[in-house]
Amino acid sequence: MPARLAPLFLVFAIIFAGCGRDEVTSYRVPKETSLAVPGLNAPATPEGGGMLTWNAPDHWNDLGATGMRRGSFAIEGENGQTADLSVIAFPGNVGGLAANVNRWRGQVGLPALTSAEIDASVEHTDTAHFHIDIVTMTGQSNGEPTRIDGAIFSFGTESWFIKLMGPADLVAAENANFRAFVASVAPAQD
Amino acid sequence: MNEVTKSFVVFFSSLKLTVALLAFSMVLVFVATLAQVNLGIYGVQEKFFKSFFVLANFPGTEIPVPVMPGGYLIGGFLMINLLAAHLTRFKLEWKKAGIHLTHFGLIVLLVGELITGLLQEDFSLRLEEGETRSYSESFRRNEVVLINKSDPDHDDVVAIPESFIADQQPVQHGKLPFQIIPRAYYPNANIGMLSSLPEGIDQSALAPNFSTMGIGPRLGISPLPLSYNDQERNLPTALVELVGTEGSLGTWLVSPMLIAPQPFQYAGQSWEIAFRFEREYKDFAVNLIELSHDVYAGSNIPKNFSSLVRVTALDGSEDRESLIYMNHPLRYQGYTFYQYQMDSANGFSVLQVVRNPGRALPYIACLLMTLGLTWQFTMHLYKFSQRRRAASAT
């Protein structure tokens, strides 16, 4: 390259290195309804915590309590597919239903929903012992269709999370077993 | 032609430049492929290919300096090089028409890629059954918005791109009676109610939260490493102070994880502040009438996902229904709506909204190059057969 062209290239480099800056914008839109801030009015939970029992189908491989998990199962499907069921409990409401559902949604690459959208999508079920919120979501994980069937409920001062996650078709096929498992959850008898 | 012009022409039409640019592009592809481990596909496209220069921080500083030419520069120079070579060296004659047409196709391809890179927009539109929206949301970008809610019919929105917050750059805007000063920024973080943190969690591991307003003081911030997985989204958290003429209004903690905007009052007006997925408002609205998720009989294997939508132009010029399903997107006002995700159990559908003004150019380029190469090879074959005929006649 001729030496006399060098300064021109330098100017070009400096100009374009600074290109593509974002800008603050302002606009007017038709009025939108505001939503309630999640977690502001979290319900009080009763005193005391405890352990739960459950009945799992025979083909679920019971891995027992490990680490943070109060219960853990591996479920094998066809073609070597495996789904994972975890039972976890945390003190308090752990950010509320919306934050936890959105955390799960993030795990399968789905965008977060508003609390109103989540409230509308949750299936509320009363079992013999608990009021349980059930959610189902299908997205992708590592490029594979992945589904989460989840159940959230309070017991004592803790929030309990039962999550079945795995290949979408396997989790869908196990949905009835998952619901039976959730329905079987009961306080442990001393 | 004076000396400088001549040196320009010689430089830009030289074959050496072609070789150098092709070598640079090979290096660029190689380095970008390695960088994909850390940056992911999107990050690599932005840094290496959709840029004029690949920038890196000067050692020990935050000052970005160009370290190698980016995709736009190499592609742009290749195009200039090709054009200059045609103008100066190639002669316009019928027997070279194939070469000209092929090269012209190549130019159309390069221009098409530039147009796509600069102008393509890619958003998501999430709709529940029965819901209507006139905006779509970015897959990756976020914005801090200040919304003046005082007007009974309209909201006045000032949107500040995440880059301003990341650079902690104060923002003063004509439509805002206060200044926005970003005080802290975490590109990916979890937030949770302090009262509900799991027992045994080390509170000193949380990031400092000096927010004073809204829900912020009741939240803990747990910074996370940036995710470069293309299936995951980073959710940033920021602490933003608003300063009016008479001093600070307070500091808010904002994050897309906080689903609802936080309200406040200033100078007798109602405002809201939020950090949300970047929105693009359109001059039409889309209503999801019905979604359907069909499976093959007796199985859970998906057969078809479809969304029946109604598109209404805000000025009343258009009102029609359209069924969107696999390989049958809706095209409207330059936008293409593809069926992207669906959760029929929860009654919502996600459409991918793409606007690409250059989408036809790769097809035109391929057609031109096919015609060019066919012409070129046919001419060669014709000449070859003529020579063989002449040889056999002698």
The alpha-carbon gap from A82 to the nearest alpha carbon of chain B, in Å, equals 17
Domain coordinates of chain B in residue numbers? 3-119+360-393, 123-355
CB-CB under 8 Å, B197 with A110: no
A177 in a structural domain: yes
Instruction: With respect to residue A131, please indicate whether it lies within any of the assigned structural domains.
Output: yes
Partners of A121 on chain B (C-beta within 8 Å) are 343, 346-348
**In the prediction, which pLDDT does A48 show?**
30
All residues of chain A having their beta carbon less than 8 Å from the beta carbon of residue B52 are 13, 16-17, 19
pLDDT band at B344 (very low <50, low <70, confident <90, very high): low
Q: Residue A171: inside a domain, yes or no?
A: yes
Question: In this predicted model, which residue has the larger pLDDT, B316 or B147?
Answer: B147
- Chain A residues lying within 8 Å of B137, measured CB to CB: 111
- Both tokens of B275, joined, read 């950090």
Query: What's the rounded Cα separation, in Å, for the pair A104 and B47?
Result: 30
Q: Tell me the pLDDT band of A19, cut-offs 50, 70 and 90.
A: low
A119–chain B Cβ distance below 8 A for any pair = no
Cβ of residue B277 closer than 8 Å to a chain A Cβ: yes
Whether chain A has a CB inside 8 Å of the CB on B177: the answer is no
Give B3-56 pLDDT, tens digit per residue: 888 888 889 999 999 999 999 999 999 999 999 888 888 889 888 998 889 988
Tell whether B157 lies on the interface with A, counting CB pairs under 8 A: yes
Going by pLDDT thresholds of 50, 70 and 90, the confidence category of residue A25 is very high
Q: How far is CA B319 from CA B83, B284, B287, B314, B353, in A?
A: 46, 9, 11, 9, 19
Q: How near does any CA of chain A get to the CA of B33, in Å?
A: 19
- The whole-angstrom separation of Cα A76 and Cα A54 is 19
Closest CA to B277 of B117, B125, B119: B125
- pLDDT band (50, 70, 90) for residue A44: very low
- Is B347 touching A (CB cutoff 8 A)? yes
With beta carbons less than 8 A apart as the criterion, state whether A137 and A156 touch.
Answer: no
Residue A4: its pLDDT value, please? Answer: 55
- φ/ψ of B374, rounded to 5, equals -60, -45
- Whether chain A has a CB inside 8 Å of the CB on B318: the answer is no
Chain A CB contacts of B64 under 8 Å are: 17
User: Is A145 contained in some domain?
Assistant: yes
A3 belongs to a structural domain: no
pLDDT in tens, A140-164: 887 889 999 999 988 766 778 899 9
Q: Please identify among residues 20-39 of chain B the ones whose CB lies closer than 8 Å to any CB of chain A.
A: none
Give the span between the Cα atoms of B143 and B121, in whole angstroms.
16
Q: Which whole number is the average pLDDT over A124-143?
A: 86
Chain-chain contact of B259 with A113 (C-beta, under 8 angstroms): yes
Ordered DSSP codes for A63-122: ----TTEEEEEEEE-GGG-EEEEEEEEEES-TTHHHHHHHHHHHHTTPPP--HHHHHHHP
Return the pLDDT at B220: 85
Q: Note whether residue A27 is domain-resident.
A: no
Contact A34 B257 (CB under 8 A): no
* Residue B212 banded pLDDT, cuts 50, 70, 90: very high
**Chain B residues with CB-CB distance to A110 below 8 A:** 341, 343, 350
Does any domain span residue A48? no
Instruction: Write down the pLDDT at residue A46.
Output: 28
Residue A189 forms contact with B (CB below 8 Å): no
Report the SS3 class of residue B141: strand
Per-residue pLDDT, B138: 92
pLDDT over threshold 80, residue B370: yes
- Give residue-wise pLDDT tens across range B258-285: 877 888 989 889 999 999 999 999 999 9
Of A1, A38, A135, the CB nearest to B259: A38
Which of B169, B231, B232 best probes binding to A when mutated, by most A CB atoms within 10 angstroms? Answer: B231
In a domain, A170, yes or no: yes
> Quick check: B215 contacting A, CB < 8 Å?
yes
Question: Closest by alpha carbon to B116, among B106, B108, B124?
Answer: B108
Write phi, then psi, for B210 (nearest 5 degrees): -110, 30
Q: Which of B194, B272, B346 would best serve as a mutation to test chain A binding (most A beta carbons within 10 A)?
A: B346
Element (H, E) at B179: strand B179-186
CA-to-CA distance for B154 and B175, rounded, in angstroms? 14
C-alpha to C-alpha distances, B158 to A33, B243, B344, B368, nearest whole angstrom: 17, 16, 35, 46
Tell me the residue range of the domain where A159 lies: 67-187
Residue A93, pLDDT score:
63
Do the Cβ atoms of B343 and A136 come within 8 Å?
Answer: yes
B313-337: b or e for each residue (b if 16 or more CB lie within 10 Å)?
A: eeeeeeeeebebbeeebbebeebbb
Tens-digit pLDDT profile for residues B159-197: 999 999 999 999 999 999 999 999 999 999 888 777 666
* Closest partner CB to B260 (pick from A24, A38, A94): A38
Q: Is A121's Cβ below 8 Å from some Cβ in B? A: yes
Provide the percentage of residues in chain A whose pLDDT is more than 70.
72
Nearest to B300 among A24, A111, A173 (CB): A173
Q: Shortest Cα distance from A183 to chain B (angstroms)?
A: 19
pLDDT of residue A65: 72
pLDDT of residue A36: 34
Nearest chain A residue to B153, by CA: A31
CB pairs under 8 A between A and B: 174
Contacts of B19 (CB under 8 A, 6+ apart): none
> Could you tell me the pLDDT band of residue A15, with boundaries at 50, 70 and 90?
low
* Residues B248-261, mean pLDDT to the nearest whole number: 88
Average pLDDT, chain B: 88
Q: Give the integer Cα–Cα distance in Å for B309 and B90.
A: 54
Number of folded domains that form chain A: 1
Q: Which residue from B53, B192, B341 is facing A99, i.e. has the nearest CB?
A: B192
pTM over 0.95: no
Nearest neighbour of A36 by CB, restricted to B174, B231, B260: B260
- The enclosing domain of A111 has a CATH number of 3.40.1000.10
Residue A5: count other Cβ atoms within 10 Å of its Cβ.
14
Q: Does A78 contact chain B (CB < 8 Å)?
A: no
